[in-house]
Amino acid sequence: MSIRSLRSDNAKEYLSHQFQNFMSSNGILHQTSCAHTPQQNGVAKRKTRHLIETIRTLLLRSNVPFRYWGDAVLMACYLINRMPSSVLGNQVPHSVLFLIPLYTHFHPVCLGPHVLFKIFLLVLTKGLSLLLSYSSTIPHVS
Amino acid sequence: MSPSLNPWILDSGATHHITGNKDFFSSSITTSGYLPSIITTNGSETQSTGIGTVKVLPSLSITSVLYVPGAPFNLISLSQLICSHDCIVTFTKVNVTLLDRISRRQVGVGCESNGLYYLVNPSKACPATNSPLTIHAQLGHPSLLKFQRLVPSLSKLSELHCELCQLGKHTRSHFPDRVNKRASSLFALVHSDVWGPSRHISTLDSKYFVTFIDDFSRCTWLFLMKNRSELFSIFQ
């Protein structure tokens, strides 16, 4: 399954020759917004805002320095993908995509995102792989 | 209420100006000559006892006003007024304005009250006839502070709810909620946006991130980037 169309703003990196050639060779339609109209890329912008707000909350709640935002944003993305979305009629994006039920590896009782995040940092400081910590191994730590 | 306190009523049903108060007359009342009798609405006939000139407003004096002792109202006959002053009378829901037909200057104003149009004294007329918002609009939408300087009688006004002022501050209208509908299948439409640079460099030296959102499932893929040019290799 491949992407049929991509919607983005007019950022230089999307308009590079390399990128455009790749798009046309793969038959992907590129829809760019009008100049100075970020609203036309609203879905992506809104998601970015959601992510930024989530990571700010995560970092503040866990008293973690802001240089860990990169880890927090991956974490936030992981969580948001598994949260019910009102656009989908409160279905979960992850299960819509992969057609598998979710919440199998979320701890049912007390594992708030900030706890997950601290566990994640713990894993990180112990030198484990970054991406590993987002997989289903997290619940076993708890 | 004594007739002297009564304001002047603009009446299109009266053929003559009528008052019951002698004090209104600026000159002496002529009691000789032709004095018409008045037929009231119930058909009874009353004799006027004098005729004279009344200065109803500083800017407006009317001639041949009949003095009818005991008349409870002061009536200005519109037909007489228009005939003698050559003015345009405009009635609106709340007020009435008298304009000179040639010079277009305002001769007088009045306001509606209980179904009657009363002539009002212009020195008090402005705040009484026009709402603060109307004056605000007439003065070219000044701020509340400037507005109160200009109109001291409204200095107690705490706020002006002028919608047009707010609209004027908007540089553009709102964006339509949704340009096109949602994608009907997976990966039919993918939204993408690059965020950054961040003020804080992440532990992995990245300053940017790029998101790819599938419109159908709303699943998000997020990739950290050290540099904007990495986008292509990520997308590949």
At A9-53, the pLDDT tens digits run: 888 888 888 888 888 888 888 888 888 888 888 889 989 999 999
Residues of B with CB under 8 A from a CB of A: 175, 179, 182, 186-195, 198-204, 206, 209, 211, 213-222, 224, 228-229, 231-232, 235-236
Q: How far apart are the first and last CA of chain B?
A: 92
CB contact under 8 A, B193 and A88: no
Q: Are residues A14 and A48 in the same domain?
A: no
Chain B contact present for A5, CB below 8 A: yes
Question: Is A112 within a domain?
Answer: yes
| CB-closest option in B199, B203, B211 to A48 | B211
Strand-strand pairing, B8-11 and B95-100: unpaired
Does the interface ipTM go beyond 0.95?
no
User: Rg (Cα) of chain A, in Å, rounded?
Assistant: 18
CB contact under 8 A, B188 and A5: yes
Q: What's phi and psi for B127, nearest 5 deg?
A: -70, -25
| CB-closest option in A1, A7, A13 to B194 | A13
Q: What is the pLDDT of residues B9-23, one digit of tens each?
A: 888 888 888 888 888
**Cα separation, B117 vs B28, whole angstroms:** 28
| CB-closest option in B200, B206, B218 to A66 | B200
CB contact under 8 A, A93 and B228: no
Looking at chain A, which residue has its C-alpha nearest residue B228? A13
Domain that holds residue A22: 5-32
Q: Are residues A14 and A47 in the same domain?
A: no
Q: Which residues of B touch A93 (CB under 8 A)?
A: 214, 217-220
* Three-state secondary structure call for residue B162: coil
Q: Are residues A68 and A115 in the same domain?
A: yes
CB environment A25-42: b (16+ within 10 A), e (fewer)? eeebeeeebeeeeeebbb
Q: Are residues A26 and A86 in the same domain?
A: no
**pLDDT tens string for chain B (236 positions)?**
344 456 888 888 888 888 888 888 877 778 777 777 888 778 888 888 888 888 887 778 888 888 888 888 888 888 888 888 888 888 988 888 888 888 888 888 888 888 888 888 765 544 445 778 888 888 888 888 888 888 888 788 788 888 888 888 887 777 776 656 778 888 888 888 888 888 888 887 888 888 999 888 888 888 888 888 888 887 77
Chain B contact present for A57, CB below 8 A: no
| CB-closest option in B198, B215, B232 to A19 | B232
Q: Are residues A78 and A105 in the same domain?
A: yes
Q: Are residues A18 and A88 in the same domain?
A: no
Q: Are residues A76 and A23 in the same domain?
A: no
Per-domain residue ranges of chain B? 3-127, 132-169, 190-235
Question: Is A37 within a domain?
Answer: no
- Overall domain count for chain A: 2
Q: What is the pLDDT of residues B128-162, one digit of tens each?
A: 457 788 888 888 888 888 888 888 887 887 888 88
Check if the beta carbon of residue B36 is closer than 8 Å to that of residue B21.
no
Q: Which residues of A touch B209 (CB under 8 A)?
A: 70, 73
Looking at chain B, which residue has its C-alpha nearest residue A75? B222
Is the CATH code 2.40.70.10 the one for domain B3-127? yes
The reported pTM is 0.51
CB contact under 8 A, A77 and B215: no
Q: Which of B220, B224, B227 is best to mutate for the A interface (most A CBs within 10 A)?
A: B220
Q: What's the CA dihedral at B194, B200, B204, B206 to 10 degrees?
A: 30
Question: Is A17 within a domain?
Answer: yes
Å from B218 to nearest chain A CA?
5
Q: How far apart are the first and last CA of chain A?
A: 36
Q: Are residues A75 and A123 in the same domain?
A: yes
Q: Which residues of A touch B188 (CB under 8 A)?
A: 4-5
**Cα separation, B39 vs B54, whole angstroms:** 22
